[in-house]
Structure 1
Amino acid sequence: MSAGGTGAGEASVGGASGAASVTEARTAAEHAARTSYGRLVAVLAAGTGDLALAEDALAEAFTAALERWPRTGVPTNPEGWLITVARNRQRDVWKSSAVRTNVPLEGTDAAIDPLDGLDLLRIPDRRLELLFTCAHPAIDPAARTPLMLQAVLGFDAAQIAAAYAVPAPTMAQRLVRAKRRIARARIPFVIPDRRAMPERLPAVLEAVYGCAAITWRDDASSLAGEAKHLAVTLASLLEREPEAWALAALVTLSLARRRPGTYVPLEEQDTAAWDAQLIDEGETYLRRAATSGRRTPGRFELEAAIHAVHLDRRRTGITDWGAVRQLYTALVAVAPSLGSQVALAAVIGRTDDADAGLAALPPGGDRFQPWWATRADLLARAGRGAEASVAYERAIELTDDAALREYLEGRRGRVQ
């Protein structure tokens, strides 16, 4: 049965009473996509090993929901309804003549439906399994983390491309190639043996970090909260992995000061609005990472420590910029990413002067929004208003956050 048909299987998953308005149906579908997309894809892909098919089937299920829910009403279990329709679509493809003509995988029975036995009323959180699957050595290393961000966490190619400062078409092609590789290799969707986990762990940690970075302006009710859940769950699973606990600390501490709405720079935020409970929780994770017995702190531990220094302003009333600079210097030595180098240049501009910060800015920031925002701020503080205005314009062009854009436009107006 295709996603466009009807059947008892769909009707049995959460009854609905009466019709719903188009707005109600769309709102329910958007909520399911926002909160459950990764879980639904993980469940569907676990049965077939075909990630692209799982995404296509789920997309058709969402389309069917937008067509039917205004007539039949929103089901009491929207996720169960969606996965039933998507599962039926997968069955159609699996049993189609195109699939049957392929050479069956050695050791399998083509007559067996790989989706049998799926509990439609329970949507398990199998995202960690899918994250480790996407970190399989057979997948291009450059595509592993972006693939997790799209397939498991639900971000689109444009959002991921912006995070990586690459053109959206380039990222889209990279993701398509990775999915084809998974389908051809029939990579199993299971958590690997613990002996294989260390090899895959960096990419998984990077994906959870990427989720937190892309949602950096959101609160705990969004995917930012999901990033925290995944980080803490992963750290608890691994128990003694310092970078996993460090990432849990980093995501939790960054979440402690997030407030959607008007953008306010960190150093200007009201510390009374920060979440004391999340700060305490994050510091507990950071201490656990620091006491793991490792001699040299890793990237996430250093970043979490930087957040902890900033959040300590809630207690002391001041920011220890010397400590922040020292930590960023260590971070650049451990993980010399464009982002860490730009952040260090910004701190140098504050602890020394704007010209020193400009000299410390790394090359290669043409598509990296923080590079232009930092350059604009340093130029403005150096008294080079015309150049700062041009840099602010470029930073605004690269910004898709409305509140941040408004803030940058205000800064540009002042230097003009």
Structure 2
Amino acid sequence: MDAHQAAELAARNSYGRLIAYLAARSQDIGAAEDALGDAFLAALKTWSESNIPENPEAWLLVTARNRLIDTARRSQVQNLALHVLAESVLEDQSGRALEDVAFPDNRLKLLFVCAHPAIDTSLHTPLMLQTVLGLNAAQIASAFLVAPATMGQRLVRAKAKIRDAGIGFELPTVEELPLRLSAVLEAIYVAYTTGWETVAGSDPGYRGLTTEAIWLARLCVQLMPAEPEARGLLALMLYCEARSEARCDDLGGYVPLLQQDMTLWSQPMIDEAEWELAHAATFKQLGRFQLEAAIQSLHAQRMVTQQIDWHALALLYEGLIQLSPTLGALVSYAAAIVETQGLDRGLQLLETLPPEGVKNYQPYWALKAHLLKWLGHQSAAQQAYSRAIGLTENSAIREFLLAQSFRLDA
């Protein structure tokens, strides 16, 4: 492994933990990000000229921490933040080398900090995705269907708000936690779907996001065991993750859900998801993530029944749309209606969606292309396939859609 690969691996595995630790001590997210960025640049140079350290994460932490101290001293800021950094708990009384000392995981704390009510609620999730989970502005903008430059400007303003308002880096009170939980869960879910959408592709760098998101959801359940939506989100991700090995064939090609080899699904993950979902139901507070998990549970039952109850699935999507009418839910509902009421009705539902909202939404165009193909509208189907292919960033799914398009020509 060369220096570039080692730095890339460290960024994927440790970015969120490093930023959370540094920001909690410097009280400045922007400064923490700048310092860590400098540390990565230093790593590329130093690790290329000498050996890669045994603990790259700790090396980066020490380098970034020293950069923060130097910056504070140059600006003559002799305050509590500088004192905390200089007297870091990493320099313990035993005198151990900094590189040999572990540090706590503050990511969950920072997630709740980013959900502070003083910050625009529309920026809670994007801020968490960048600060804690390491996604860049372009990736976040893609998830929210806005321009990368626009998202970048919003994130800069949000971080300035945290700094200028002196927002503390502590967990909110017990009474405040539930008010911030939905934003935290939403960020964890978006992080998971970002990693999930690349599993079948050629970029392994973001596969770790799914593991990280599941870990953070477990932390939320531990912190707030009586919150059913935290358990619902954990169940939802476990159902999906249980199918990860079946999403690609031996050649790396994309395999749609209904064509997957169910013997490759993880039964232990499905069992855990079923337990979490059943436990969430005992609180009798139905929410979005519980409904989405119930939808995945229906798919998982195919391992036993060898079929899908499409009527039940359509009803669950109707309930989900009432709680959270997202584009994803509306498009998935149309797909379920195809199985219960026919192709024409499914296409009719798709065409009721607002054109401005769906113009860059790839799943809409992929489903529309399939429906038009099955209805015999070849030219319109080809146009929809072209639109879906152009909006697809995942190489495996793009190849799958290209194959469908080629078959249409044939």
TM-score w.r.t. the length of structure 2 is: 0.90
* Residue 86 (structure 1) aligned to one of 64, 74, 85: 64
Tell me what 1:300 maps to.
Answer: 289
In the aligned structure 2, how far is the partner of 1:343 from the partner of 1:235? 28
Per-residue deviation at 1:382?
Answer: 1.7
In the aligned structure 1, how far is the partner of 2:57 from the partner of 2:166? 26
In the aligned structure 2, how far is the partner of 1:28 from the partner of 1:111? 30
Per-residue deviation at 1:293?
Answer: 3.4
2:116 equivalent to 1:141 = no
In the aligned structure 2, how far is the partner of 1:134 from the partner of 1:222? 22
SS at match of 2:87: coil
In the aligned structure 1, how far is the partner of 2:155 from the partner of 2:388? 27
Unaligned runs of at least 5 residues, structure 1: 1-22
**Larger helix percent:** 2
Tell me what 2:243 maps to.
Answer: 257
Cα 1:115–1:144 change in 2 (3 A) is: farther
Cα 1:221–1:368 change in 2 (3 A) is: closer
In the aligned structure 1, how far is the partner of 2:66 from the partner of 2:403? 52
Tell me what 2:318 maps to.
Answer: 329
Tell me what 2:405 maps to.
Answer: 412
- Give 4+ residue runs of structure 1 displaced > 6 Å after superposition: none
Tell me what 2:93 maps to.
Answer: none
In the aligned structure 2, how far is the partner of 1:168 from the partner of 1:347? 33
User: Could you tell which deviates more after superposition, 132-141 or 389-398?
Assistant: 389-398
Tell me what 1:20 maps to.
Answer: none
2:229 equivalent to 1:243 = yes
- Report if the CA contact (8 A) 1:386-1:415 is conserved: no
Tell me what 1:10 maps to.
Answer: none
In the aligned structure 1, how far is the partner of 2:166 from the partner of 2:138? 27
In the aligned structure 1, how far is the partner of 2:85 from the partner of 2:2? 34
- Quick one: which amino acid aligns to residue 306 of structure 2? G
Tell me what 1:124 maps to.
Answer: 104
Tell me what 1:14 maps to.
Answer: none
Per-residue deviation at 1:115?
Answer: 4.7
SS at match of 1:61: helix
Superposition pairs of residues 36-51 of structure 1, within 5 angstroms: 36-51=14-29
User: Could you tell which deviates more after superposition, 283-292 or 209-218?
Assistant: 209-218
In the aligned structure 2, how far is the partner of 1:285 from the partner of 1:109? 43
RMSD: 1.7
Q: Deviations over 1:35-74 (max 9, x none)?
A: 1110010001000111111111111111111111021101
In the aligned structure 2, how far is the partner of 1:111 from the partner of 1:198? 32
Tell me what 2:365 maps to.
Answer: 372
Q: Deviations over 1:300-359 (max 9, x none)?
A: 000000001001111111111111111001100111111111111121123222221121
In the aligned structure 1, how far is the partner of 2:102 from the partner of 2:135? 24
SS at match of 1:215: helix
In the aligned structure 1, how far is the partner of 2:56 from the partner of 2:395? 31
Tell me what 1:163 maps to.
Answer: 143
Q: Deviations over 1:87-123 (max 9, x none)?
A: 11111221223x64xxx9xxx6587354522424213
- Quick one: which amino acid aligns to residue 83 of structure 2? I
SS at match of 2:358: coil
2:309 equivalent to 1:349 = no
Cα 1:353–1:38 change in 2 (3 A) is: same
In the aligned structure 2, how far is the partner of 1:320 from the partner of 1:126? 42
Tell me what 1:196 maps to.
Answer: 176
- Report if the CA contact (8 A) 1:39-1:152 is conserved: yes
- Report if the CA contact (8 A) 2:35-2:64 is conserved: yes
* Residue 390 (structure 1) aligned to one of 370, 380, 383: 383
- Quick one: which amino acid aligns to residue 271 of structure 2? D
Name the % identity. 46
Cα 1:111–1:358 change in 2 (3 A) is: closer
Q: Deviations over 1:267-287 (max 9, x none)?
A: 111100101111111111111
Per-residue deviation at 1:77?
Answer: 0.6
Unaligned runs of at least 5 residues, structure 2: 91-97, 201-205
- Report if the CA contact (8 A) 2:130-2:137 is conserved: yes
In the aligned structure 1, how far is the partner of 2:147 from the partner of 2:332? 23
- Report if the CA contact (8 A) 1:346-1:378 is conserved: no
- Report if the CA contact (8 A) 2:27-2:81 is conserved: no
- Report if the CA contact (8 A) 2:238-2:270 is conserved: yes
Superposition pairs of residues 310-321 of structure 1, within 5 angstroms: 310-321=299-310
- Quick one: which amino acid aligns to residue 332 of structure 1? I
2:268 equivalent to 1:277 = yes
- Report if the CA contact (8 A) 1:145-1:204 is conserved: yes
User: Could you tell which deviates more after superposition, 65-74 or 114-123?
Assistant: 114-123
